[in-house]
Amino acid sequence: MSEGPGAAAQAVAPLPSLTESVAYVRELGKPTAAEVLGEARARGRVALQPRCGVGSHVQMTTLLQDLERHGSPDILSLTIDSHTRLKRFDKAEAALRRNPADLNGYPLVTHGWQRGRQLNESVGVPLEIRHGSPDARLLFETAVASGITSFEGGGISYNLPYSKAVPLSESLAAWRDVDRRCGELAELGLVIDRELFGTLTAVLVPPSISLAISVLEAVAAAREGVKCISVAYPQGGHCEQDVAALRTVPELAARYLPEGTEVHAVLHEYMGPFPKDRGDAEDLILYGALVARLGGATKLITKTYQEAYGIPDTRANIDGLVLAARANSPLLSCLRLDEDRIAEEQEWILREVAEIVEPVLAAPELLPAIAESFASGRLDIPFSASRYALSEVIPRRAPDGAIRYQATGGLPLSNTLKRRNEQALATGGGEELGEMVRGLTADINYFLTAFDTPGAPR
């Protein structure tokens, strides 16, 4: 099972210059991720991308080829292992030598950029790096040398949901370097798609929190010269609210980002507990794909019917892609939603985002203001793993399934917005801790209840 001693040698091969890497991408003869996204949006279709990543180079190659051959994705993922995410390259190398199956993703830095190029050349669609690292500078440099043209993450979204003890000042500075390098590459003629992980802690994320964090990361990226930004949003479960959130992305881009910045909305299919029954799971997959279409998303990150059981196999990933692709059918153009309800929700989301981000954007220095705002609670995310977020925000589902604020913590929301959330929840307040925990659990298990899954908390 070992990848052999060559794996370590790949990691220490000198990185090529940016100019050489740009020339390599041009010679590849396939579109960049930014070009694929631009074409998808121009055609009015949702581009599809699965998650995938294994430790073995041979198996990773086979996995990518199988997904492309049988699932027809528009972009493919290279999900990175947890050792590499935390810069524990020695541990990644040891696992690779011992048994690549011990790794929960592909250790690109350890395999090295030459093998990254081999992966790139093995398929016809562009690749994206998905990871979760608060400091991804070496990973990014290796990805660029590999000819990979999309890179996920940000100084907030790849720190607070994942890391306990990484100061925001450090992660924001590291990601500023990544974005600055993207600006240099854009000047050389290569546009890297920078996807922002607005999914955060994945479930029960209020739309305005997700979008506010993405706005701040997008502004920081654009100031460093990033030209293509994908704003990822997690499907919450309420159709009109999710559609409204996706449709606010271009409005937020027009309001806060410089002209000439290409911005795409991306939907992550539901990241909470999935039903075990295959039919129910596939209903949820198709539902998410339809939300992406109706919300005008450029791209959809797909799920599989095996989500409830752990890491899906190749066949399940292929089937998830094929099913999600049904949402692009022209026969579904007859689908209609309550546009007045969506427009109203959009307006409230835009107001909440503005009240959260505009005090931070008004500060003389953006990155220090972000760190200071999290320290004071004026910025916050629920259920954070980090000691650098207060996590005083408590989201809950309203009776209609929409996600609202039960507690806003230190977020600078006006009384008008607070009252709207209180009225939507109609809880009356005064919940005991145990009652609140049971309610949150039921909210997280929303779709298990919807499908009447046995044993689901209610």
Q: Which of 3, 128, 141, 152 is catalytic?
A: 152
Interior angle at CA 239, CA 420 and CA 252, nearest 5: 65
- From residue 269, alpha-carbon distances to 47, 266, 327 in Å are 13, 10, 13
CA separation for the pair 373, 170 (Å, rounded): 15
Choose the catalytic residue: 41, 85, 130, 247: 85
Q: For residues 96 and 93, what is the distance between their CA atoms, to the nearest angstrom?
A: 5
The b-or-e profile of 106-126 (16+ CB within 10 A means b, else e) is: bbbbbbbbebbbbbbeebebb
**CA proximity to 284, closest of 266, 304, 259, 257:** 304
For 177-199, give the secondary structure using H, E and C: HHHHHHHHHHHCCCCCEEEECCC
Contact 17, 114 (CB under 8 A): no
Q: What is the DSSP string of 344-373?
A: HHHHHHHHHHHHHHHHHHTSSSHHHHHHHH
Q: What is the DSSP letter of 430?
A: -
Name the nearest CA neighbour of 410 among 334, 359, 348: 359
The question of whether 152 is a catalytic residue gets the answer yes
Query: Between the CA of residue 90 and those of 8, 55, 113, 165, 439, what are the distances in Å?
Result: 10, 14, 17, 21, 43
**134, 144, 224, 357: CA torsion to nearest 10:** -40
- Say how far apart CA 367 and CA 172 lie, in whole Å: 7
Compute the 3-state secondary structure of the chain and give helix, strand, coil in percent, each to the nearest 5. 55, 10, 40
Catalytic residue set: 85, 152
